[in-house]
């Protein structure tokens, strides 16, 4: 394994636990025609969130498309609450871990996400004195702002180019196999993370690098 100078983190199920089923269930409660399982299957098969997370459509277009697809109507506030149900709050200890790592590495964040979700998780303050966890990152990359979505290899290339990083000196943590494989093809040292033990796994992997 080559020396590591920068760490690139996915957000969902790496630093921030999520449960997609909760949003599918919340949407199902608004629909008279589709169960949570049906909504999950259709969403995944048809990639209903991808255009929005890629920044190709705006919030209003996304809300309307989901409501039309699953035959329900609600206020923007109710829709956003259902869509945000998947966000479970940051892991305990995440601030302390990242603060320690920031002493030795440049930290970057790269997440497939949306503006509706970002408005919630970007407000969370989880440091011991109310610090903002995102202040620990040198730069934050969110897919809807980039116009790209993982596993498109161009999304990693953009991060590397903008920060003058060598791919071989970057270690990337993500819970999605396809994202890991595409990052490896770019030359990044990519590690598949188990959401159940993400922080302890990251800590163990980096133990040899941290003083």
On the question of pLDDT at 51 being above 70, the answer is yes
On the question of pLDDT at 157 being above 80, the answer is yes
Residue 70 banded pLDDT, cuts 50, 70, 90? very high
Please state, in angstroms and as integers, the Cα–Cα distance from residue 137 to each residue in 21, 40, 192, following that order: 29, 32, 20
Q: Please report whether residue 200 resides in a domain.
A: yes
Residues 43 and 125 in one domain: no
Domain of 125: which CATH number? 3.40.50.1000
Overall pTM surpassing 0.75 (yes/no):
yes
On the question of pLDDT at 144 being above 80, the answer is yes
Residue 128: predicted pLDDT: 81
Q: What tokens appear for 209 in the block?
A: 């690098």
- Say which residues have a Cβ less than 8 Å from residue 35's Cβ, sequence separation at least 6: 28
Residues 49 and 127 in one domain: no
Q: Please report whether residue 160 resides in a domain.
A: yes
Q: Please report whether residue 157 resides in a domain.
A: yes
CA–CA dist 91, 199 (Å, integer): 8
What is the residue range of 37's domain? 20-86
Residues 76 and 109 in one domain: no
On the question of pLDDT at 84 being above 70, the answer is yes
Residues 43 and 132 in one domain: no
Q: Are 116 and 123 in contact (CB under 8 A)?
A: no
């Amino acid at each position: 394994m080559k020396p590591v100078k920068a760490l690139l983190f996915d957000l969902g199920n790496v630093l921030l636990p999520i449960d997609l089923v909760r949003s599918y269930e919340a949407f199902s409660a608004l629909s008279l025609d589709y169960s949570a399982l049906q909504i999950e299957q259709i969403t995944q098969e048809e990639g209903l969130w991808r255009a929005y997370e890629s920044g190709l459509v705006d919030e209003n277009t996304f809300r309307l498309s989901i409501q039309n697809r699953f035959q329900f109507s609600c206020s923007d506030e109710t829709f956003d609450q259902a869509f945000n149900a998947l966000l479970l709050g940051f892991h305990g200890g995440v601030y302390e871990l990242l603060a320690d790592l920031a002493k030795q590495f440049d930290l970057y964040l790269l997440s497939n996400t949306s503006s509706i979700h970002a408005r919630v998780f970007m407000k969370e303050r989880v440091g011991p004195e109310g610090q903002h966890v995102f202040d620990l990152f040198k730069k934050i990359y969110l897919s809807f702002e980039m116009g790209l979505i993982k596993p498109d290899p161009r999304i990693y290339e953009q991060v590397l180019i903008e920060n003058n990083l060598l791919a071989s000196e970057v270690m990337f943590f993500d819970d999605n196999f396809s994202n890991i494989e595409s990052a490896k093809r770019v030359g990044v040292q990519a590690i598949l993370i188990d959401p159940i033990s993400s922080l302890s796994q990251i800590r163990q992997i980096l133990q040899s690098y941290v003083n």
